[in-house]
Structure formats: C-alpha cells, structure tokens
C-alpha cells in the first residue's frame, strides 16, 4: 500500500506494535515454527520433510513497504528462507513502486516477484505477457481466496495474482465514550440511523459528529465511493469505475445529494464547519479530534479505511468497553462500525477497499516457491499476529489478529458479499482531478454546481480513459 502522505493507502506506525502483547521476537519465532512445519507442501508438493527438499538459490521481490512495514514483511519471509534455503532479496520501493516496476519491465530486468497496490497494473502486465499465470503453480492455495478477490487477480479468465495484504474501507471509526455521552447506546446499522445519530450528537452541543479529512480529496472520494456502493451495488460501481456509466448519471447525482445530508448545510455536521474542515482537515491530524493524545475528543467519528488504526494512540483500547472514558489518558477506547447502507438494501454486504497483489514475473523454482508461500495462510498469519495487517486469505484464523477491531475487520474482508477496488485508484491519468472535483461538490452541493462538476468529470474521464 502506498505511502499515506501521497495516497490513501497507509503505512503502519509504531503505535500498533504496542498493541501486540507478546514480544516481537518471541512471536515471530513461534509463528516461524508453525510455518516451517508446513513448508514441505510448498517446497516439494509432497510428504517429504522440508529439510530434505531445500531448493536453495535466491529470489528477488519488490513491494512498496518500507520502514516498519518492511521489517514486518521480512519477518514473514524469514520462515520461507529457513525452510527452503532460498535467500530472498527484498527491495522496498515506497510510493514509486509502479514507476520502478514499469521501468524494470521495459528494461528487461524486473524482479522475480512483485507486489503492486492495484489491479490495473496486473491487467496491464498480463496483457503484455510480462507476468505468469498462477493456477497450476498455486494448486489448492487458490481456494484460500473468495471469488471477489480471485476475480480482481484474473485477466482474461486466467489467475495472475495473489492478494497478500488487504485494506477495508467499509469502516467508520468512532469514540465509544463520545457516543455514550450523547446517549447513543448502539452503533448505526442503516444510513438513516447514521444521520439521526449525527443530529443527536450535534444537538448535544459539545461534540461535532464528524471530523472529515479533506486535505487532498481522497478521503472525500472514499466517502462518496462507499455511499455510491451501498446505494447502487457493485455492478453499478464497476460501471462507474470504467466510465461505462456516466458521472452525470442520476445514480451519481443522488449519491452526491446523500453525501450533502451527511455533511449538513454549510458543513454543520463537520468539526469546524465547512471552512474549518477544509482548513484543518489534513491527514492524519483529522483523526486526533476523535482520538486525541491528550485532553478530550472534540468529534465523534471519522470516515476512513482500516489503516486509520495506525494513527490511534497506543494507549487507546480497541473495542467498546464499558470503562471507556472521554479522557485521552484515562481508559480511552476506539472502535469501528461498518459503513451503513439504507434499510433493506441488497448491497449492505458490499465492501470497497484496496490491497497489494503479488505477481510472478520470472519463473524459477525459487520464485514459484515464493509466490506459493505468499498464497499460504502461514505467511499471512505471521503479519496478522504482528498487527497493522489484514488478509484476504480466508484460511487465516481470526484468532491470529491481536484485538477485536482487527478481527472484525478481517472477517468483513474475507466474507464480503462483493468486493470492489477503490474507484479513484482505478482512474489512471485523472485521479487528482477526481479528488479536486469531489472537494468542489463538498463545498457547493447546489444542484447547478453538481451538474457542472459532473459534466467536467465526464470530460476528464473520457480524456483519460479514452471513452
């Protein structure tokens, strides 16, 4: 996932590590023993011991992960190296991953395995025959992923990728103590109830209902995309993503209207109003109004993906405990609820998100063993235990995740009725313009302005996508 300073795909910080109760070294060692025990399947596809079937040699792999994420991914790779005798050369490319990989493929010197943060890159490389089909290599490991995830890694009916790391954008983060102070005893399960709860919080006069992140537009795009999905479903969402549905369609217009209700007239439901939200809504500072490091919260909730957990101070307990307080230093808590759909909607189980997909660029015994390992539950299990990670692999037990919030997040990802990739990430060539358009509508949701912006978006999409 790309660096949070430039996109919505966040990086984990050290706060999360404080939530892992076991020591890092002890945890990795324990997980490594479990993973190594199953590595004979990956190494030999037979019952022989891993030690007697070591492949040895080396393999190169690229991904975006740097800093703590790089450290955690190397912990994932360690059991593979120990079991196979293969030396893994990992390079973290940061937010330049796509550019670096394109250049390497064009120059004829790509890594053997690469992980990229969008299915568009996979499709492009598959069309160029730059990556290898995986079904015969993965064997039964293909069953570890639901249909929605497998479809995202498929090009022309052939599987080309493994979704190793996932992000759930179906999450709304909230401060349980603020909800309790407002007299709200349960989280909203419908869109209308969410709007009612906003009014209840606002009428209390102490807290703003929402702290909205608005600095570069992608959080507002995520909000729109979640709402569009819940109102119209995955099929319509994918039509809009590919511009086979126009941005000037009635479905888009009605979604903008519902978003305006959430924000309130003139931004009445936002911390600081519209002016304050636009001036002070930088990421990740917009989260501290809900989960401050000191003092008391000033807002009840923030709409963003599961990577927001990395920006919650480490002393906040996950879950809606009865002992949660409004003080940032005396038993504070954080929790999430699913982005709600209208009552009776058939699309309540549809989820928007993103992730990192592993692809095979060079076929060797070493690279095939590595890609199969990344598809195994054992590999994902290690990072799940460390925290700051969610997997699309449905064989990773929920018990591997360190707390109730992470468990709920992972369960939602693996059991999604339909999973769609973050729409703005698929808008190659005009994503920043889309963000600006979203901010334009946010500031001025009048029908005449919405019509003007929608027409502009259709022009921008046509120019970028060719239709």
Asked if residue 161 has pLDDT above 90, the reply is: yes
The structure's pTM equals: 0.84
Q: Could you tell me whether strands 418-421 and 350-360 are parallel, antiparallel, or unpaired per DSSP bridges?
A: parallel
Q: Where are the alpha helices (DSSP H) in 45-96?
A: 67-84
Which of 113, 174, 99, 196 lies closest to 375 in space, CA to CA? 113
Quickly count: other Cβ atoms within 10 Å of residue 446's Cβ: 10
What's the pLDDT at 27?
54
What's the pLDDT at 124?
92
Asked if residue 49 has pLDDT above 50, the reply is: no
Is omega for the bond preceding 284 within 30 degrees of 0, making it cis? yes
Token pair for 120: 């568009």
Confidence of residue 44 (pLDDT cuts 50, 70, 90): very low
| Cα separation, 317 vs 298, whole angstroms | 18
Percent of the chain with pLDDT over 70: 89
Show the domains of the chain with their CATH numbers: 14-165+360-418 (3.40.190.10)
The stretch 405-430 carries a mean pLDDT of 89
DSSP string of 324-382, one letter each residue: --S-TTSS-EEEEEEPPPPTT-TTTTEEEEEEEEEEESS--HHHHHHHHHHTSHHHHHH
Q: Which of 195-199, 308-312, 342-346, 372-376 has the lowest mean pLDDT?
A: 308-312
Confidence of residue 113 (pLDDT cuts 50, 70, 90): very high
Asked if residue 4 has pLDDT above 80, the reply is: no
């Amino acid at each position: 996932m790309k660096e949070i300073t430039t996109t919505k795909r966040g990086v984990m910080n050290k706060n999360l590590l404080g939530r892992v109760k076991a020591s890092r070294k002890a945890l990795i060692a324990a997980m490594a023993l479990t993973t190594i025990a199953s590595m004979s399947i990956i190494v030999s596809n037979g019952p022989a011991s891993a030690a007697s079937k070591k492949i040895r040699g080396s393999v190169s792999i690229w991904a975006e992960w740097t800093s703590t994420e790089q450290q955690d991914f190397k912990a994932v790779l360690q059991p593979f190296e120990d079991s196979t005798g293969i030396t893994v050369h990992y390079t973290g490319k940061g937010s330049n991953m796509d550019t670096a990989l394109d250049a390497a493929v064009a120059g004829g010197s790509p890594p053997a395995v690469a992980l990229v943060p969008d299915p568009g890159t996979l499709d492009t490389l598959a069309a160029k025959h730059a990556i290898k089909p995986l079904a015969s290599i993965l064997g039964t490991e293909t069953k570890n992923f639901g249909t929605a995830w497998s479809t995202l890694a498929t090009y022309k009916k052939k599987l080309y990728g493994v979704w190793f790391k996932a992000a759930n954008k179906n999450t709304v983060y909230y401060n349980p103590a603020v909800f309790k102070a407002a007299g709200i005893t349960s989280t909203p399960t419908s869109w209308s109830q969410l709007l009612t709860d906003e009014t209840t919080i606002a009428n209390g006069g102490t807290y703003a209902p929402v702290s909205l992140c608005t600095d570069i537009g992608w959080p507002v795009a995520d909000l729109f995309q979640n709402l569009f999905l819940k109102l119209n479903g995955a099929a319509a969402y994918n039509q809009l993503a590919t511009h086979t549905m126009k941005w000037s369609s009635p479905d888009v217009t009605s979604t903008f209207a519902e978003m305006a209700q959430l924000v309130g007239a003139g931004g009445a439901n936002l911390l600081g109003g519209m002016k304050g939200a636009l001036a002070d809504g930088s990421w990740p500072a917009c989260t501290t109004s809900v989960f401050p490091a000191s003092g008391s919260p000033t807002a009840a909730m923030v709409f963003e993906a599961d990577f927001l957990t990395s920006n919650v101070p480490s002393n906040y307990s996950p879950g809606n405990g009865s002992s949660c307080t409004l003080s940032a230093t005396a038993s504070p808590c954080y929790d999430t609820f699913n982005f709600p759909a209208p009552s009776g909607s058939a699309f309540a189980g549809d989820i928007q998100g993103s992730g990192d997909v592993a692809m095979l660029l060079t076929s060797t015994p070493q690279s095939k063993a590595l890609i199969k390992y990344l598809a195994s539950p054992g590999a994902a299990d290690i990072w799940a235990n460390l925290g700051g990670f969610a997997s699309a692999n449905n064989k990773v037990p929920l018990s591997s995740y360190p707390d109730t919030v992470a468990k709920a997040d992972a369960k939602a990802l693996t059991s999604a009725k339909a999973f769609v990739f973050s729409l703005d990430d698929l808008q190659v060539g005009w994503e920043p313009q889309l963000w600006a358009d979203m901010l334009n509508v946010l500031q001025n949701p009048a029908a005449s302005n919405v019509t003007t912006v929608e027409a502009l978006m259709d022009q921008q999409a046509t120019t970028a996508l060719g239709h």
